[in-house]
Amino acid sequence: MPRGRDLYVILGALMLAMLLAALDQTIVSTALPTIVSDLGGLNHLSWVVTAYLLSSTASTPLWGKLGDQYGRKRLFQTSIVIFLVGSALCGVAQDMTQLIAFRGVQGLGGGGLMVLVVAIVGDVVPVRERGRYQGLFGAVFGVSSVCGPLLGGWFVDNLSWRWVFYINIPIGILTLIVIAAVLHTTSVREQHRIDYPGILLIVGWSVGLVLMTTWGGTQYAWASPQIIALGVGSVILIVLWIFVELRAAEPVMPPRLFRSAVFSQSSAISFVIGFAMFGAMTFIPIFLQVVHGVSPTMSGVHLLPMMVGMLVASIGSGQLISNTGRYKIYPVVGTPIVAVAMWWCSRMDETTSTLSMSLRFALLGFGLGLVMQVLVIAVQNAVPYQDLGSATSGVTFFRQIGGSFGVAVFGSVFANQLSSKMESVARSGKLPPGFDPTAAEGDPKLLDRLPPQVRGDVLHVYAESIQTVFLWAVPIAVVAVVLTWFLREVPLRATAGAQDYGEGLGGAHTVRSSRHEIERALSSLMRKDAKAMELYERLGALAGVNLPAGSMWALCRIAKDGTVSGAELAERAEVLVEQGRPYVDRLVNAGFVVRSGGDLSITEAGQAAAIRLFEARREGLAEHLAGWSPEEHRELAEILTRLSRESLGDDADGKAVYAGAVPGEGHAGGGRHAAPD
């Protein structure tokens, strides 16, 4: 595994890649009004967001399986290239149709970035440190949620909306160079039977349903042959998808998951939360920029209360759940808050004050945050081990799909309301001669040409149209309220104490296996263990190994290597060779290690003592898996055995266990910053 500077360089590049993919879910929102003014096509506005969400969500299972099967580095580089090509094409798009198509390409690469970053972190970071670094990657989602709308507005105001996409190119190229030069993964290849039909059918029915909700009532009447055909076709594709998934060796989403009431209810609630979150983040900037006349940058600033409320509630609820073991109360409280906030947002108009809007947005974000983290925990507590990865991915999948539908439905309602209300204004005779109301629908900047009184009437039309959007969201949120009442609260497993803030903060859809989920949770929980010296002393007492902590660390390290030079062992501990001689002397005197020249070799007695330490560590780790029955799952048993060996004699503990008195000076823990000879 890479160490030191190389590791930090790799992690920095991976965090940049994840930031790019996460930002592109939110950075476009504050640029949308300007994009519409430049390219036209207001009725297609929602697809700028939806195309990215759909393509990234649908492609993540494919990227994950291909990465396991063919190696992650080349696949990761390929996904970066696809993402950069899509970004460049979005930047040069000449009409809305081109932009939507190129956003789909960008989302295809973005899906690869998200899932492969998570997998590569597991390849390059030692297991004891993985939880800490995964926490940093979770923070990336929080940063992208807060900074995305703000950055999008800043680019529009100071450069051009095209820089929302161009900015990805230099950062992506830097990531490519770093990954090519420094990343050398040796991940174990896993053979998969990839569910290509399942992936294609998911894309088919989701696109069909989103098209139906986008075009229905706007481009085509709801009873038109086109809309009916889309609906019928989507239902047929869903039936085919279920048929295929029932027979697939490795289905994208096993149908048996839906037999779990907790999974079905959590997925439905997650769908609604995605619906509300992405829908609101898309149309609030339009309301702010058009109705209130704020700049794109300031519309991003106005969204900060929503983002902060979401972060505070999500992180806070996660911490409270870890401490109390109870989680149902948070969605029970959160979903009514979302419904109330949506209704309150539907009362906004051109006279609403900044303070009043900020309170509404903060309330909406707070309600969303109370729900998102909990849904992941709920499904992880309700499914058996073999379905853990699929269930976790499934609930976040439905959040992304809900976001796609939310943007599409909100866009359809908005376009339909705006068109009918603008026609009403035109019939009233208030508009000046030659002013085309349909052109104003597609280009809000044209409103500046209107006389003040008429302009006020038209802005009120925009406000009323967006009011209707939020009003339509209220009954959908109420459905989630009802669903949370029936959400069954399963006793909390220990692994639920290791929250995945990447999923909980509304991050993009990722795919991990059950093994990856357990390793992630164990990694986080291991960080909460006792300090290294205390851990080794406790294990020594349990295993009957009467040695200082520094000697036990050296014993485990030498046992894993078989033979190692004193200089190399000192380097691993990051201390001087001569400072560690007392610790190795204890091992040599006990008959656990043989010193030959500069090399240290394990003896049979030493190997037996190390095995007792590894077994004691394994029993301690098994306590974290209470409720998962590791004795019934071979893979879980193998994870415990592997992690118990990897976590003892780990480089990260080397220096820590040599703090204290030198052996023989009255302290069982062993000497000052020392390393073996």
216 pairs with which residues across the strands? 220
When pLDDT is cut at 50, 70 and 90, the band that residue 672 belongs to is very low
Backbone angles phi, psi at 534, to 5 degrees: -65, -40
pLDDT at 86: 92
Average pLDDT over every residue of 47-68: 77
Question: For 397-430, how does the pLDDT look when each residue is reduced to its tens digit (9 = 90+)?
Answer: 888 788 778 877 887 788 778 777 777 766 766 6
119-133, 401-415, 531-545 — which one is most confidently predicted on average?
Answer: 531-545
pLDDT at 64: 73
106-115, 315-324, 424-433, 497-506 — which one is most confidently predicted on average?
Answer: 106-115
When pLDDT is cut at 50, 70 and 90, the band that residue 446 belongs to is low
Residues 106 and 114: beta-carbon distance below 8 Å: no
Better-scored residue on pLDDT, 505 or 382: 382
Cα dihedral 475, 267, 75, 125 sign:
positive
Residues 128 and 522: beta-carbon distance below 8 Å: no
Least confident of 219-233, 277-291, 531-545: 277-291
Those residues with Cβ within 8 angstroms of residue 282's Cβ, 6 or more apart along the chain or in another chain: 29, 32, 45, 46, 49, 407, 410, 411
Average pLDDT over every residue of 307-329: 81
Alpha carbons 161 and 285: distance in angstroms, whole number: 14
**Taking 80 as the threshold, does the pLDDT of residue 69 lie above it?**
no
Q: What is the mean pLDDT of the chain?
A: 78
pLDDT at 85: 93
**Taking 60 as the threshold, does the pLDDT of residue 550 lie above it?**
yes
- Of 420, 393, 390, 675, the C-alpha closest to 557 is 675
- Alpha-carbon distances, residue 585 vs 29, 189, 360, 566, 655 (angstroms): 65, 41, 68, 12, 18
- CA 139, 140, 146: angle at the middle one, nearest 5? 90
pLDDT at 677: 45
pLDDT at 344: 92
Residue 449 burial by CB count (10 A; 0-12/13-18/19+): exposed, middle or buried? exposed
Question: For 606-653, how does the pLDDT look when each residue is reduced to its tens digit (9 = 90+)?
Answer: 899 999 998 998 888 887 777 677 777 777 788 888 888 888 877 666
DSSP state of 628: S
Residues 131 and 520: beta-carbon distance below 8 Å: yes
**Taking 50 as the threshold, does the pLDDT of residue 673 lie above it?**
no
**Taking 80 as the threshold, does the pLDDT of residue 168 lie above it?**
yes
- The number of residues making up the chain comes to 677
When pLDDT is cut at 50, 70 and 90, the band that residue 671 belongs to is very low
Better-scored residue on pLDDT, 68 or 313: 313
Average pLDDT over every residue of 211-236: 82
563 pairs with which residues across the strands? 601
- Alpha-carbon distances, residue 143 vs 8, 84, 115, 150, 485 (angstroms): 19, 21, 18, 11, 32
When pLDDT is cut at 50, 70 and 90, the band that residue 82 belongs to is very high
**Taking 70 as the threshold, does the pLDDT of residue 668 lie above it?**
no
Tell me which amino acid residue 298 is.
M
Those residues with Cβ within 8 angstroms of residue 216's Cβ, 6 or more apart along the chain or in another chain: 222, 227, 412
Q: What is the pTM of this model?
A: 0.74
Q: Is 508 helix (H, G, I), strand (E, B) or coil?
A: coil
pLDDT at 499: 57
**DSSP-assigned states of every residue in 380-406:** HHHS-GGGHHHHHHHHHHHHHHHHHHH
**Taking 90 as the threshold, does the pLDDT of residue 152 lie above it?**
no
Alpha carbons 327 and 51: distance in angstroms, whole number: 34
pLDDT at 304: 85
**Taking 90 as the threshold, does the pLDDT of residue 359 lie above it?**
yes
Average pLDDT over every residue of 447-473: 78
Residues 52 and 103: beta-carbon distance below 8 Å: yes
Q: Is 565 helix (H, G, I), strand (E, B) or coil?
A: strand
pLDDT at 676: 44
Residues 461 and 475: beta-carbon distance below 8 Å: no
pLDDT at 664: 53
DSSP state of 450: S
**Taking 80 as the threshold, does the pLDDT of residue 112 lie above it?**
yes
257-266, 274-283, 414-423, 496-505 — which one is most confidently predicted on average?
Answer: 257-266
Between strands 563-565 and 593-596, the pairing is unpaired
**Taking 70 as the threshold, does the pLDDT of residue 116 lie above it?**
yes
Q: Is 596 helix (H, G, I), strand (E, B) or coil?
A: strand
